[in-house]
Structure 1
Amino acid sequence: MHNVRIPRGIQDLVDVFDCFIVDQFGVLHDGTRPYPGAVDALVMLKQAGKTILVLSNSGRRSAPNEQRLLRLGFQNGSWDYFLSSGEVAWKRLEGKLKERVGGEPLKCLLMAREGDRSAVEGLPLEIVDSGADADIVLLSGSMGDRFDMDHYRRLLEPAAARNVTCLCTNPDKIMLTEVGPRFGAGRIAEVYAEMGAPVTWIGKPFPEIYEVAVEMLGRPLAARTACVGDSIEHDIAGGQRAGLPTVLVGTGILGMLTGAEKAELLRQHGAEPDYFLPAFVW
């Protein structure tokens, strides 16, 4: 990262940007607790008059994600908008299902975390337990801290054999859990694709979620809108593809990588952040 600027904290970027698109996992918290200084940094950024959108590769809808931030100790009102990939997928599915005329509800094999049903709540879908019965696979979360990949292969093989489309609403390949990093929903979707079955991706680094985020922000000037995240593959490459400046944060996934691994990811994804913050602090 030869041309990357290194500010002292997020306060050094207040005069540079009007809007901040901020990742949650790995930047604000680790899934169980906020990172030191992150709660205050978010509050002070909002008090500085900035518009903040929290953007997450969570298969859950936006509302449950916001509730989790509050439970973790983040202050209500310290962000303006929350957008999850699960929310984008839900709205896309709602639109497509409304176009169907008559017939039985689609049978959906739902793979979610901790029994979460927000990804399908209110949609005319019939939830099934077997890939052999599914018309669609909705992959919104991984239980990689409880099951191995063979568990998912067994569930998915009957659907893959029938060429059933998988909608992956959480492209993250690694997730942070209480027992350490484990494979995420994105890795499960990759395995499904390796079986020869079709996968539709929703979330960072793919364009649709950025288009929705920018629309929610009122289409601000791109040069004054920063994407902040800990993933080179998702946050930095995705932000750059959307034409937005990027800020790489050294916690979360990035904090688990060696220097050589970081360099390889930067090379592999053709991505280099504009700024580097060791942590999301004021």
Structure 2
Amino acid sequence: MEDTHPTAFAGVTPDPAWAFDQYQRLRDQLPRADRKPGTTQALLSLEPLQDRFDAFVFDAFGVLNTGMAVIPGAVARLARLQAAGKPVLVLSNAATASQAALTDKYRAMGFDLTENQIISSRWLLEDSLGREPRDGLWGVIAPAASDSQTLPGIRQHPVRPGITDDELDACDGFIFLSSEDWNEVLQEKLTASLERHPRPLEVANPDLVAPRGDCLTLEPGFFAHKLREDTGISPRFFGKPYGPAFQAALERLKGIPAHRVLMVGDTLHTDILGARATGMASLLVSSHGSLAGMNLDSCIRQSGITPDFVTPSI
């Protein structure tokens, strides 16, 4: 199946250096990490940390997989942790697939995971919709061939290529699930609609970029922040680096203290920042994700976001 996530927009083709600079530019929109920075220990893999922590939380893209390709050694690493009795969770900003579909995806890749071991930003959104039903008609930005039209608690209308200005203006709010097929025309039309009549925007994937094979794609967080800057609206984000995502992980770990949990991710401004703000320990994976090829020492110094550990791959 062809991947239709945008790899360029308005003359921008994202690469790791660009993505890092964008996250830095948006730093005032991200959580604060109150814990004082320490030093970062370099490791060859996660192996030396298996017995140092009581539970492990993994980002997906850039740590376990890139697109549909499994990162070598990732399945075996999770299997060894589980065989040792360590609780394992996946905390992902994936927002298109339902919980069941996402679980099936990772099981097909070889990961022995249940639905209860996966927390996606889609699940966080659906949990919120279930507890706080939204009034009115909501425009949902998601692929046509997906199960996105089953969101609980709302009436919804798809926002897809070909949508008219009148259809956009009739929506009482918007939910941004996926950037698949999103383009300059749709962004301009939505911007104009929100300028005519500001309304809520809820974003189930705060990521600016995602690693997919040999490129980075632009994700809903990038487009949502452009909408914020161009229209003055304040998007509501679900997922990392925001606190509710990490609190949901701690709730599933049945009382394990945050400092005994290791968050494993590939992005300083989402995985590592969110972990530090929540009190978790953190391991930055450098070879497969949004920081691949970057000078990590420089990135850590510039951002002030200090992982406890760093490794090329788990």
Aligning the two structures, in what range does the TM-score lie when normalised by the shorter sequence?
Answer: 0.7 to 0.9
Give the aligned partner of residue 136 of structure 1.
173
Q: Is 1:274 aligned to residue 308 of structure 2?
A: yes
Q: Is 1:73 aligned to residue 110 of structure 2?
A: yes
Aligned to 1:247, the other structure's residue is in SS state: strand
Q: Whole-Å Cα distance in 2 between the matches of residues 165 and 57 of structure 1?
A: 20
Give the aligned partner of residue 260 of structure 2.
224
How far has the Cα of 1:164 moved from its partner? 0.8
Greater length-normalized contact order (CA 8 Å, ≥ 6 residues apart): 2
Partner letter of residue 197 of structure 2?
R
Q: 1:151 to 1:128 in 2, by over 3 A?
A: closer
How far has the Cα of 1:179 moved from its partner? 6.8
Are 1:54 and 1:81, in contact at CA under 8 Å, matched by a contact in 2?
yes
- The ranges of structure 1 where at least 4 consecutive aligned residues each deviate by more than 4 angstroms after the TM superposition are 262-265
Match of 1:22 among 42, 58, 72: 58
Q: 1:217 to 1:119 in 2, by over 3 A?
A: farther
TM-score by length of 1: 0.86
Higher mean C-alpha deviation, range 187-196 or range 8-17: 8-17
Aligned to 1:181, the other structure's residue is in SS state: strand
How far has the Cα of 1:115 moved from its partner? 3.6
Aligned to 2:40, the other structure's residue is in SS state: coil
Q: Is 1:93 aligned to residue 118 of structure 2?
A: no
Give the aligned partner of residue 158 of structure 1.
193
Give the aligned partner of residue 127 of structure 1.
157
Give the aligned partner of residue 141 of structure 2.
111
Q: Whole-Å Cα distance in 2 between the matches of residues 257 and 148 of structure 1?
A: 28
Are 1:131 and 1:157, in contact at CA under 8 Å, matched by a contact in 2?
no
Give the aligned partner of residue 191 of structure 1.
226
Higher mean C-alpha deviation, range 233-242 or range 4-13: 4-13
Q: 1:236 to 1:76 in 2, by over 3 A?
A: closer
Q: 1:149 to 1:251 in 2, by over 3 A?
A: farther
Are 1:86 and 1:119, in contact at CA under 8 Å, matched by a contact in 2?
no
How far has the Cα of 1:162 moved from its partner? 0.9
Q: Whole-Å Cα distance in 2 between the matches of residues 224 and 38 of structure 1?
A: 21
Aligned to 2:198, the other structure's residue is in SS state: coil
Match of 1:246 among 274, 278, 282: 282
Q: Whole-Å Cα distance in 1 between the matches of residues 246 and 291 of structure 2?
A: 25
Are 2:95 and 2:177, in contact at CA under 8 Å, matched by a contact in 1?
yes
How far has the Cα of 1:181 moved from its partner? 1.1
Q: Is 1:205 aligned to residue 241 of structure 2?
A: yes
Percentage identity across paired residues of the two chains: 25
How far has the Cα of 1:191 moved from its partner? 1.0
Are 1:131 and 1:156, in contact at CA under 8 Å, matched by a contact in 2?
no
Match of 1:44 among 67, 80, 84: 80
Higher mean C-alpha deviation, range 9-18 or range 226-235: 9-18
Are 2:287 and 2:293, in contact at CA under 8 Å, matched by a contact in 1?
no
Aligned to 1:258, the other structure's residue is in SS state: coil
Give the aligned partner of residue 7 of structure 2.
none
Uncovered stretches (5+) of structure 1, i.e. residues with no partner: none
Q: Whole-Å Cα distance in 2 between the matches of residues 80 and 17 of structure 1?
A: 20
Q: 1:32 to 1:86 in 2, by over 3 A?
A: same
